[in-house]
Amino acid sequence: MYEYDEFDADFVNQRALQFGRQVESRLSGKLSEDQFRPIRLMNGLYLQLHAYMLRVNVPYGCLNSAQMRKLAHIARVYDKDYGHLTTRQNMQFNWIKLSDMPEILLELASVEMHGIQSSGNCIRNITADEYAGVAAEEIEDPRVYCELLRQWSSLHPEFSFLPRKFKIAVTGSEKDRAVVKAHDIGLRLHRNENGEEGFEVFVGGGLGRTPFIGKSIRAFLPTEHVLSYCEAILRVYNQLGRRDNKYKARIKILVHEMGSEAFSELVEKEWAEIKQGALALPQAEIERVREFFAPPAYEALPEEDPDFEAQRKAEPGFALWARQQLAAHKRAGYAIVNVSCSPVGKPPGDISSAQMEGFADLADTYNFGEMRVTHNQNLVLTDVRKRDLFDLWKKLVALGLATANHGLIGDTICCPGLDYCALATARSIPLAEKISERFADPERQAEIGEIYLNMSGCINACGHHHVGNIGIVGVDKKNTELYQLMLGGSAEEDASLGKILGPGFDEDGIVDAVETVINIYIDMREPNEKFIETYRRLGPEPFKDRLYGAPA
């Protein structure tokens, strides 16, 4: 993974020291809250319902074991012994003291971490496919471009005060695990008819109160132009994006209102001016960054491991886990391991200090000391030898990290909701817990098959409810939580937005409603048909009719 050079290290250290002085100024009264708020947000520090909340960037979801141990240390010493994995592949802490922040930032800087640009109207943490570099079907490793984008966007003087926050995601596979079409900019690496690598560029995607699927504004962008093209997009947005109304300030509104073709013309015009300038990437620079992501020292192994096969036959729990949690690796004899942080009846994405430390040890033992955070609030070990899987599984069981629900109904995306968040209008975590309990039986989950259930505690949609196959959004109706059900969303390459089915339900009613939807799907599906496919074939009517009664 990328390692800081002297410039990076000095910048992050200086920034930690600077924020330390700003905290002192705040505590002594030299800065008012109004003056301090934008400064603390620029460093990832929010004030939530119960305390300050610190969001720590995990660049495109990549962590090493030393960093994970440091996050565990921060959770134990400065927080309440746990952290929370976010949908931008970051980790946040819910109980931070302002007076501890100077120390915490220096601790983070010591392992090349920080919270800079994890909040505020700037370019946020770049996200990527969690299988980057190892997926069997991958075209090219997106991390190289994520890192170049990270360096370009860090403290970019022109883009530090955008009309609104700005999110970029990159994928290098046909299969989209990075939700690129729900981002301000989504980049999809692919090959053109001449076999050259480049990006398809999507803009104006996003969720929140006005959701849109991103529009493709360029089918093929040569990789060396990725920075200049993004700069052109940001320039057009920065000049024309609305600043008079927070709710209409995202690029998606601009693209929607002016039309993607008109927007694209402006971008191309701007790009023509700058494409041969300082941002054009020399191949040598791309190769220099690529070296940071060179494959680890893989062994030459046969694809199948006889012990692994025998262990699966002997141990049903292991077989179940292996069936659900493993993905195909590009190297023979290796597997990608999905590690669920959504255990039955527990908050999705929460991980204790002990689990973080135990997981860091497993990364050292089995995975070249590295790991990934996913936007689904889980973890991934990317490079595990098949012959190590049984030992790894036993240790994950001991850590409470061996739930076998990857891509199933128990593996929900869920925002913190009204249990923590100052913006939320309803709780979301208790619902996720109840739904995972209702569908706790692994055989039942397996019978239901691949399905994505996403939920948010308000219309801001941090829980990505619009792109869940089943989406739930909580609202406040006369001081009572009410949950609306939507169906038909997809976060993948066939991205779509779910549609609200009808009137909302109370907390128990929504869990029953989800079960009804699932039962209808099971009754009406064709052989091997996924939930989203059945929904697209049938439309909402059968679900509506059963939940609300057929129209007279």
DSSP string computed for 12-38: HHHHHHHHHHHHHHHHHTSS-HHHHHH
Q: Which of 208, 214, 410, 430 binds other proteins (CB under 8 A)?
A: 430
The answer to the question of residue 47 lying near other proteins (CB under 8 A) is yes
The answer to the question of residue 32 lying near other proteins (CB under 8 A) is yes
**Residue 193: what are its φ and ψ, rounded to 5°?**
-65, -20
CB of 435 to other proteins, least distance (A): 13
Between vectors from CA 370 to CA 364 and to CA 372, what angle results, nearest 5°? 135
The answer to the question of residue 49 lying near other proteins (CB under 8 A) is yes
The answer to the question of residue 27 lying near other proteins (CB under 8 A) is yes
- For the segment 160-219, give every residue that binds other proteins (CB under 8 A): none
Host H or E run for residue 338: strand 334-339
Choice between 52 and 271, CB closer to other proteins:
52
Distance of alpha carbon 69 from alpha carbon 72, whole angstroms:
5
Choice between 288 and 477, CB closer to other proteins:
477
Q: Mark 160-177 as b/e (b = at least 16 C-beta within 10 Å).
A: eebbbbbbbbbbbbeebb
Scanning 156-164, 260-268, 460-468, 475-483 for contacts with other proteins by CB under 8 A, the matching segment is 475-483
Choice between 96 and 335, CB closer to other proteins:
96
Which x/- pattern, by CB under 8 A, does the window 67-96 give for other proteins? -------------x--------------xx
Distance of alpha carbon 285 from alpha carbon 291, whole angstroms:
10
Choice between 119 and 171, CB closer to other proteins:
119
Scanning 131-139, 261-269, 308-316, 425-433 for contacts with other proteins by CB under 8 A, the matching segment is 425-433
CA distances from 4 to 169, 293, 470 (A): 22, 13, 41
Choice between 4 and 78, CB closer to other proteins:
78
The answer to the question of residue 35 lying near other proteins (CB under 8 A) is no
The answer to the question of residue 458 lying near other proteins (CB under 8 A) is no
Scanning 42-50, 135-143, 192-200, 265-273 for contacts with other proteins by CB under 8 A, the matching segment is 42-50
- Which strands make up the sheet holding 62-64, listed edge to edge? 62-64, 370-373, 379-385, 334-339, 326-328
The answer to the question of residue 489 lying near other proteins (CB under 8 A) is no
CB of 416 to other proteins, least distance (A): 9
The answer to the question of residue 9 lying near other proteins (CB under 8 A) is no
Distance of alpha carbon 260 from alpha carbon 241, whole angstroms:
14
Between vectors from CA 475 to CA 469 and to CA 476, what angle results, nearest 5°? 165
CA-atom Rg of the chain in angstroms: 23
3-state secondary structure 482-540: EEEEEECCECCCCCECCEECCCCECHHHHHHHHHHHHHHHHHHCCCCCCHHHHHHHHCC
The answer to the question of residue 479 lying near other proteins (CB under 8 A) is yes
- For the segment 138-167, give every residue that binds other proteins (CB under 8 A): none
With H, G, I as helix, E, B as strand and everything else as coil, classify residue 275: coil
- For the segment 336-375, give every residue that binds other proteins (CB under 8 A): 347
CB of 417 to other proteins, least distance (A): 9
Q: Which residue has the tokens 């041969």?
A: 276
Is residue 498 within 8 A of residue 454, CB to CB? The reply is: no
CB of 51 to other proteins, least distance (A): 4
The answer to the question of residue 267 lying near other proteins (CB under 8 A) is no
Indicate the angle between helix axes 226-240 and 251-258, nearest 10 degrees.
80
The answer to the question of residue 55 lying near other proteins (CB under 8 A) is no
Q: Which of 271, 321, 366, 420 binds other proteins (CB under 8 A)?
A: 420
Scanning 29-37, 112-120, 153-161, 435-443 for contacts with other proteins by CB under 8 A, the matching segment is 29-37
Host H or E run for residue 432: helix 429-438
Terminal Cα distance for the chain, rounded: 61
Q: Name the nearest CA neighbour of 100 among 54, 31, 163, 151.
A: 54
Q: Which of 481, 518, 521, 534 binds other proteins (CB under 8 A)?
A: 481
The answer to the question of residue 39 lying near other proteins (CB under 8 A) is no
Q: Which of 3, 5, 7, 29 binds other proteins (CB under 8 A)?
A: 29
Q: How many residues bind other proteins (CB under 8 A)?
A: 31
The answer to the question of residue 52 lying near other proteins (CB under 8 A) is yes
Distance of alpha carbon 324 from alpha carbon 99, whole angstroms:
44
Instruction: Tell me which residues touch other proteins (CB under 8 A).
Output: 26-29, 32-33, 47-52, 80, 95-99, 347, 418-420, 424-425, 427, 429-430, 433, 476, 479, 481
